[in-house]
Amino acid sequence: MEGLSSRIAEINNSAAQTHTRQFEILAETLEKDGHNIEQLLDKISSFQVAIPSWALGTGGTRFGRFPGGGEPGSLEEKIQDVGTLHALNASSDAISLHIPWDIPKDTNAIKELAASYNLKFDAVNSNTFQDQPGQDHSYKFGSLCHSDPAVRMKAVEHNIEVIKYGKELGSKALTVWLADGSSFPGQMNFRKAFGNTLDSLERIYETLPEDWKVLVEYKPFEPYFYSMVIPDWGTSHLLANKLGEKAFCLVDLGHHLPNTNIEQIVATLMMEAKLGGFHFNDSKFADDDLTVGSMKPYQLFLIFNELVEGMEDEKSANPVPAWMIDASHNLKDPLEDLLQSVEAMKLAYAQALIIDRDSLEKYRESNDVSMAQEVLQNAYRTDVRPLLAEARRRSNAAINPLDTYRKLQIREQLIQTRGSKTIATGL
Amino acid sequence: MEGLSSRIAEINNSAAQTHTRQFEILAETLEKDGHNIEQLLDKISSFQVAIPSWALGTGGTRFGRFPGGGEPGSLEEKIQDVGTLHALNASSDAISLHIPWDIPKDTNAIKELAASYNLKFDAVNSNTFQDQPGQDHSYKFGSLCHSDPAVRMKAVEHNIEVIKYGKELGSKALTVWLADGSSFPGQMNFRKAFGNTLDSLERIYETLPEDWKVLVEYKPFEPYFYSMVIPDWGTSHLLANKLGEKAFCLVDLGHHLPNTNIEQIVATLMMEAKLGGFHFNDSKFADDDLTVGSMKPYQLFLIFNELVEGMEDEKSANPVPAWMIDASHNLKDPLEDLLQSVEAMKLAYAQALIIDRDSLEKYRESNDVSMAQEVLQNAYRTDVRPLLAEARRRSNAAINPLDTYRKLQIREQLIQTRGSKTIATGL
Amino acid sequence: MEGLSSRIAEINNSAAQTHTRQFEILAETLEKDGHNIEQLLDKISSFQVAIPSWALGTGGTRFGRFPGGGEPGSLEEKIQDVGTLHALNASSDAISLHIPWDIPKDTNAIKELAASYNLKFDAVNSNTFQDQPGQDHSYKFGSLCHSDPAVRMKAVEHNIEVIKYGKELGSKALTVWLADGSSFPGQMNFRKAFGNTLDSLERIYETLPEDWKVLVEYKPFEPYFYSMVIPDWGTSHLLANKLGEKAFCLVDLGHHLPNTNIEQIVATLMMEAKLGGFHFNDSKFADDDLTVGSMKPYQLFLIFNELVEGMEDEKSANPVPAWMIDASHNLKDPLEDLLQSVEAMKLAYAQALIIDRDSLEKYRESNDVSMAQEVLQNAYRTDVRPLLAEARRRSNAAINPLDTYRKLQIREQLIQTRGSKTIATGL
Amino acid sequence: MEGLSSRIAEINNSAAQTHTRQFEILAETLEKDGHNIEQLLDKISSFQVAIPSWALGTGGTRFGRFPGGGEPGSLEEKIQDVGTLHALNASSDAISLHIPWDIPKDTNAIKELAASYNLKFDAVNSNTFQDQPGQDHSYKFGSLCHSDPAVRMKAVEHNIEVIKYGKELGSKALTVWLADGSSFPGQMNFRKAFGNTLDSLERIYETLPEDWKVLVEYKPFEPYFYSMVIPDWGTSHLLANKLGEKAFCLVDLGHHLPNTNIEQIVATLMMEAKLGGFHFNDSKFADDDLTVGSMKPYQLFLIFNELVEGMEDEKSANPVPAWMIDASHNLKDPLEDLLQSVEAMKLAYAQALIIDRDSLEKYRESNDVSMAQEVLQNAYRTDVRPLLAEARRRSNAAINPLDTYRKLQIREQLIQTRGSKTIATGL
């Protein structure tokens, strides 16, 4: 790590002059518009995104997988990779584990390793959408919703076990992505499936530590192709409300029907103080799990507009949501994809921070539609990259993370160390 | 009317022999499968669909309108048209009025007229999506959600006035389709718009008679193209819950994003005892407002499957929903379109009634997906048209309504009486 | 096989009486409407659907796979399974092989085996969307479209090899599903990718035997999530036109954007004499690969309406398209799924055959929209199942194929013979 | 006009200092990256977008219309409004007329008036989707595709008349948006409708002057809701090919099914030298006709990426497409909406011009997906607004057009002159 830091510093040196000039010009413009640069930099620096352990290896589709090289073969190597990211961008200070893909054998050693990279453990994730080898009850026809109480019990116990691992690691949240559903009309009794699911979640909820949250994710289809037990925010919200104060909704950008206005869902859930977490990615067609910001960067900005508005609202009772990337890197080097994703998120965040909110509200009140749009676009069209670079520079991270990653030949070194044929656990 | 009845009887006579043979064969088959034919006929006869007053004239698109002839020019003529439908199919015993398009001048006379056709008044509908000539506050930027309290107050008062008309006519429900929304990112503060809407609805709710319901409709887009204040069932449900026991959700089939599983929404809302009403139509692309059953008859059957299951569940606290057709007849004779729509609904209803529910539940419990599908398809593939015809015959309505309508040359007579250039109020 | 036939006959006996009565009633009605029953039965009997070799095992999603038991572990066992289907429904007289999943080792032995089940070999399918173990050039970034000529050459040669196997087996067509595409804006030069693809296809086309066809499939997304080289029928048609007279388009029902009017595409391609083949399945959201007819049976009927109209048009130069099922059986027994799929296709076909085409055209000419719809719905609402059963009975196949399959406990026997843990090659 | 120019100059003066500093900094950065600023400014200045005559008034939906004030009540006033736009942004040097909404009475006077504002006449547009008062043959069931030859002939003659007006005004293209289609399965014989349409278009094509183009537009739905005769680019391309060398396709951004990759269609059509024109707008759900760039600015940039690539390709035989805005201004002042639309188009164009195309191709060839994305995003994230402002400044147009429009109180003056109740012809 120290080695990495010093090599980053070296590359920063050669980029410093150009960066400084660009930053100063931007800072001058923003200050003229009434922004406090130091506050902006503070907020940007504080913004941290959790990296899921399964996003460090090459993903695939049902048609095949084309692995890259140097993929992490163990939890330790996954933590190392997140450490590399964090050294480069100073924005990825947590890892989110997926059980059973990442069961820690020696919890203390794992925690120490993470701490050595300045990493924490974010929400833990359960998996009841795959059967493990030799599993006695199958999840083929569902887990928490299953018609057979024995299968439900198995799935409940798995979630309780995941909480146990999370407690040992210092996590404070359990994310439940319930992949349960049906693929054919007639297959499932919708109301019984909901009732079974609620009952299962209540059993899990009972064991949740006082300072934990449970995050209930929704998705309209895949892996089932007719109905999902929790298909939309309305159902997720219904469940979270029935469960209690520690239960929240989790929004994954890719889990919506075509044309959904996601930013409005964000606003509604924050208004109801029930937005607990966010999975970032991007998509064009379905749950494509692409690099954040690679397809619809303006939508991302509009979502951050709502997030910032909700978080800065003093009357809001919504907790700060847990941010996480949830993507599948089928074609790119996973670490490059993650660097691009975090950069896109922070651009959207920084642009949302410089929205002239007083003017925006004034134009909204007077229904001056053209000018309300101008206010948003004025922020969006501003090139805030120097602001992000400056925040990184001050945190001893890379001015240009992806460029630095390439120059340091990190992937080449990982291939040398780990080999070109390793396959990470996960999707 | 009596004239109409006797002419229907005459035409029935010539169709009776063929019908009776077909009915007897179907009855025999269904009885062999354990169904009680008389009970089925009772249920089918009892099924009544309200006709909205605006569906009796030719509709249009934003690109133009091509009126037909003989359209009703007054409320009295609209009631006459619904009376004709009811005489033909014995399934349209109510009319749903839209204020201000159909303000009754002499309530008692109107009630008597309706009674002479055996018609009742179903839910009344408010309209805050158009400005009336000379209107002082415009709904251009919303009504119940508007940033200006004066506009909100005007919209609230309009709804209260609609309730007043409804009370006089014997209605028991107010339907609120809130067309409010925004067309551009930035235009609307989502949370304020929701708050204003809730506040407005509460003021309306306060004036609602004890035995009334208010039905809150949702729609994802149109006439606004970025956000709607009530875009989905989740938001409608949120509002209905905050309002109280007399508030329910209303589902319009055309008001969903592509690929939405509507039947699951129906199941969820009935489970929560919040499904208050239904607007039937059909669509391929958006809110196309086509003849019921003309595009996705299997989806219609699956929806009726949930409706029947919910209504026959003794533990369910959901009231019987209000059924209504909400379509726009741009190309067809409106009365023919309505005859086809009611027929399609009753086919789906009858098919849902003959589903072997015990087997279905058994297969669901054992996750026998193939057989669960077979049970549904077995009902759906059954040709139940003779059952509907028999129910009509016993009610002195037409064995073949559309055929009878044509033979009786009803449209030709209406054109003679009303002229070929009349244009009905409405869309 | 003989054993199977006699057992089918036995079960038929017990169902014969009920069936005969239902068939006679239907025949009587249809004859009254002017249909020639024997001709209908002939057409229905002649209708044959090819079964793809990969559809005989349990499919999966990118999230997991839940195998069933008794899956075929060899090409021989796959042929046996198709033989079983054909014995049951007399409508699956061909198998479509996928190379390299099903490379025949001894072609003559395989042909003899197939012949013993009365099976032929339909179109052969190439696979350039997966890397085989030890493959020297990767298809990760495309195959026929690849920027590297060496990869293109490898993919071309693979297709030529597939033709070679097909020639040995008696196939007459090569199906090219080109999974090539890109997942990120910027990744691919659209015009170069098209040019490379055309060049590669021309090289394959050159080697195509005189009496063969090449079928060019299209798909809008998956496994790539931004662009596909052949995303729609327009591009497929462009390629087929440039290639020549032996090149045709192939339509897969699941390969369309939401709300596409597929039946119109069918009509257009037949008008242009370029519809070469059809992959049947059903879907609600994307390429869901569900049982044919399980989701949108009316759309299926409308497609068959166009197919029948095109095939019965004497002026049409379009060849009879190759019919194939292309589904993924994640939850059901694959053989049951295929029986249901073939049944749904034949229902739609039979209903399309009994459309009163003269009336339909008459109403279309006079723009009598209501009656044109009535004509279609009259055919669709007719319960033609007895017609299909009679066609099967006369071919010594099962009156009720799925019921017979269950009664004969075929899956149980396959599990006993093949084991419960076998996994078929394929997706 | 002179008055307007001098007032613009005045306002420019007060903005000049800030602008100049921002422009110089941007120019410096771009030059460092190897761009020729003068060439960029030239290209940006040359970029001109036609304004359709119907876009100068407030539009509506089928649910209502909320007119603003000061709308143009005559063709002369429409030309004046486009003149105002062009004075402000120096990018709207042409008007596109819609017949019969804008029939010029005195062609010479109209041409002189236009010339006084430095305006030309772009493509003329026919209208066969509405009946005019007293029309003898109705377009209710189609026009060029109609089953009745008399209706087809009427529509053909209308198009020929539109060409006549266009010739007088100096137009060089006819745009045919064929709104023909059907709303119900069964209504239309797809193949006959196509054949009739082709025949009608051939008759129009025969009368087309040698130096003219005919642009064939496509649209998947609305105003018909089941099928459109020309639903997609494939059908438009088929027709253009059959018609001949003067026939081209026209792409309207809003005329696509959800998730369509429009930029790929652009690339394909330019490759085939058949992209004749472009209608710009933006949308979230359907043909929403919103301000260009208000919803999906990155998609707009990707489209301009293809347009620039196609136009700068020396081997391309595609003509420079006709650019036009085609939007509906329901909520905004139409002139403000158009200023915002042109600005968004030019931003996308300028960003497409500064893409490092050599690097992009290099990364594509080597399948370096991350870096290919970086190249695109690097251009897109650059704030090129000062470049546009400088191009305008040099053309004596406004540095900040919308701001200037507001400061000059142009709408207020139009209301004073024209009144607050005028309604423009059009949608």
Q: What is the 3-state secondary structure (H, E, C) of A111-157?
A: HHHHHHCCCEECCEECCCCCCCCCCCCCCCCCCCCCCCHHHHHHHHH
Taking the CA of residue A221 and the nearest CA in chain B, the distance in Å comes to: 10
Burial C344-363 (b: 16+ CB within 10 A, else e): bbbbbbbbbbbbbbeebbeb
Mean per-residue pLDDT, D276-299: 98
Amino acid identity, residue B143? S
Mark yes or no for CB contact D296/A297 under 8 Å: no
Please determine, for residue C426, whether its predicted confidence score (pLDDT) is greater than 70.
Answer: no
Amino acid identity, residue B2? E
* Residue C310: Cβ within 10 Å count: 21
Nearest to B361 among A185, A189, A363 (CB): A189
Whose structure tokens read 């997942």?
A: C183
How far apart CA A37 and CA A32 sit, in angstroms, is 11
User: Measured between CB atoms, does D133 come within 8 Å of chain A?
Assistant: no
**pLDDT score recorded for residue A426:** 63
**pLDDT score recorded for residue A427:** 60
How far apart CA C278 and CA C296 sit, in angstroms, is 17
Residue of C260, C333, C373 to mutate, testing the B interface (most B Cβ within 10 Å of its Cβ): C373
Percent of chain B's residues with pLDDT above 90: 94
**pLDDT score recorded for residue C289:** 96
Name the pTM for this structure: 0.98
* ipTM reported for the complex surpasses 0.95: yes
Mean per-residue pLDDT, D53-61: 93
- Cα A109 versus chain centre, distance: 25
**pLDDT score recorded for residue A134:** 85
User: Measured between CB atoms, does B138 come within 8 Å of chain C?
Assistant: no
Residue D257 main-chain phi, psi, to 5 deg: -70, 160
Which residues is C250 bridged to in the sheet? C217, C277
Q: From D336, which residue of chain A is nearest by alpha-carbon distance? A: A370
User: Is the separation of the CB atoms in A91 and A398 below 8 Å?
Assistant: no
Which residues is B95 bridged to in the sheet? B51, B121
Mark yes or no for CB contact B62/D66 under 8 Å: no
Q: What is the mean pLDDT of chain B?
A: 96
How far apart CA D244 and CA B91 sit, in angstroms, is 56
- Which DSSP category does D122 fall into? -
**pLDDT score recorded for residue A425:** 65
Cβ contacts (< 8 Å) between A259 and chain D: which residues?
258, 284-285
**pLDDT score recorded for residue C2:** 57
* Residue C76: Cβ within 10 Å count: 16
Mark yes or no for CB contact A187/B364 under 8 Å: yes
Smallest CA-to-CA distance from A221 within A145, A277, A285, A148 is with A285
Mark yes or no for CB contact A288/C225 under 8 Å: yes
Residue of B298, B332, B371 to mutate, testing the C interface (most C Cβ within 10 Å of its Cβ): B298
What is the four-CA torsion angle of D358, D360, D364, D370, rounded to 10 degrees? 150
How far apart CA A260 and CA B217 sit, in angstroms, is 18
User: Tens of pLDDT along chain A (427 residues)?
Assistant: 458 999 999 999 999 999 999 999 999 999 999 999 999 999 999 999 999 999 999 999 999 899 889 999 999 999 999 999 999 999 999 999 999 889 999 999 999 999 999 999 999 999 999 999 888 899 999 999 999 999 999 999 999 999 999 999 999 999 999 999 999 999 999 999 999 999 999 999 999 999 999 999 999 999 999 999 999 999 999 999 999 999 999 999 999 999 999 999 999 999 999 999 999 999 999 999 999 999 999 999 999 999 999 999 988 899 999 999 999 999 999 999 999 999 999 999 999 999 999 999 999 999 999 999 999 999 999 999 999 999 999 999 999 999 999 999 999 999 999 998 776 666 6
Mark yes or no for CB contact D63/B283 under 8 Å: no
Cβ contacts (< 8 Å) between A373 and chain B: which residues?
184-187
Smallest CA-to-CA distance from C251 within C194, C321, C309 is with C321
DSSP structure string for D83-115: HHHHHHHS---EEE-BTTTT--SSHHHHHHHHH
Q: What is the pLDDT of residues C175-199, one digit of tens each?
A: 999 999 999 999 999 999 999 999 9
> What SS3 class is residue D388?
helix
**pLDDT score recorded for residue A135:** 87
Cβ contacts (< 8 Å) between D347 and chain A: which residues?
381
User: Is the separation of the CB atoms in A346 and A388 below 8 Å?
Assistant: yes
**Which secondary-structure segment (H or E) carries C124?**
strand C124-125
Please determine, for residue B425, whether its predicted confidence score (pLDDT) is greater than 90.
Answer: no
How far apart CA B409 and CA B48 sit, in angstroms, is 25
**pLDDT score recorded for residue B3:** 86
**pLDDT score recorded for residue B403:** 98
pLDDT band at B292 (very low <50, low <70, confident <90, very high): very high
User: Measured between CB atoms, does C364 come within 8 Å of chain B?
Assistant: no
User: Is the separation of the CB atoms in A52 and A79 below 8 Å?
Assistant: no
B131-135, D51-55, D281-285, range with the lowest pLDDT: B131-135
Please determine, for residue C422, whether its predicted confidence score (pLDDT) is greater than 80.
Answer: no
**pLDDT score recorded for residue B426:** 63
Half-sphere exposure (Cβ direction) of D340: Cα atoms closer than 13 Å: 29
Structure token digits, residue A43: 């907020």
Mean per-residue pLDDT, D221-238: 98
**pLDDT score recorded for residue D425:** 65
Nearest to A340 among D373, D385, D402 (CB): D373
Smallest CA-to-CA distance from C374 within B86, B343, B302 is with B343
Residue C231 main-chain phi, psi, to 5 deg: -85, -20
> What SS3 class is residue D263?
helix
Residues 6+ apart with CB under 8 A from B229: B142, B144, B145, B178, B180, B181, B193, B194, B197, B235
How far apart CA D323 and CA D345 sit, in angstroms, is 10
Cβ contacts (< 8 Å) between D289 and chain B: which residues?
225
Residue of D58, D61, D62, D257 to mutate, testing the B interface (most B Cβ within 10 Å of its Cβ): D62
User: Is the separation of the CB atoms in C216 and C249 below 8 Å?
Assistant: yes
**pLDDT score recorded for residue D421:** 76
Burial A377-394 (b: 16+ CB within 10 A, else e): bbbbbbbbbbbbbbbbbe
User: Measured between CB atoms, does C141 come within 8 Å of chain D?
Assistant: yes
Taking the CA of residue C383 and the nearest CA in chain B, the distance in Å comes to: 5
User: Measured between CB atoms, does C15 come within 8 Å of chain B?
Assistant: no
Neighbours of chain A (3+ CB pairs under 8 A): B, C, D
User: Measured between CB atoms, does B297 come within 8 Å of chain C?
Assistant: yes
Please determine, for residue D250, whether its predicted confidence score (pLDDT) is greater than 90.
Answer: yes
Structure token digits, residue D385: 């607004």
Which residues is A58 bridged to in the sheet? A329
How far apart CA C249 and CA C275 sit, in angstroms, is 5
Mark yes or no for CB contact B190/A267 under 8 Å: yes
Please determine, for residue D427, whether its predicted confidence score (pLDDT) is greater than 80.
Answer: no
User: Measured between CB atoms, does D332 come within 8 Å of chain A?
Assistant: yes
Please determine, for residue B1, whether its predicted confidence score (pLDDT) is greater than 60.
Answer: no
Mark yes or no for CB contact B284/C261 under 8 Å: yes
From first CA to last CA, the distance across chain A in angstroms is 29
- Cα C291 versus chain centre, distance: 11
Q: What is the pLDDT of residues C101-143, one digit of tens each?
A: 899 999 999 999 999 999 999 999 999 999 998 889 999 999 9
CA distances for B379 relative to A110, B183, B354, angstroms:
58, 44, 6
Nearest to D186 among C232, C260, C376 (CB): C376
Amino acid identity, residue A325? I
Total length of chain C = 427
**Which secondary-structure segment (H or E) carries A237?**
helix A233-243
Amino acid identity, residue C87? A
Mean per-residue pLDDT, B260-264: 98
How far apart CA A114 and CA A109 sit, in angstroms, is 9
Whose structure tokens read 């005329």?
A: D255
**pLDDT score recorded for residue A221:** 98
User: Measured between CB atoms, does C257 come within 8 Å of chain B?
Assistant: no
Structure token digits, residue B84: 């004709």
Mark yes or no for CB contact B302/A260 under 8 Å: no
Cβ contacts (< 8 Å) between A222 and chain C: which residues?
61, 63, 285-286
User: Is the separation of the CB atoms in A393 and A12 below 8 Å?
Assistant: yes
User: Measured between CB atoms, does A423 come within 8 Å of chain B?
Assistant: no
**pLDDT score recorded for residue A105:** 92
∠ CA A101-A107-A112, nearest 5°, is 115
**pLDDT score recorded for residue A2:** 57
* Residue B277: Cβ within 10 Å count: 24
Neighbours of chain D (3+ CB pairs under 8 A): A, B, C
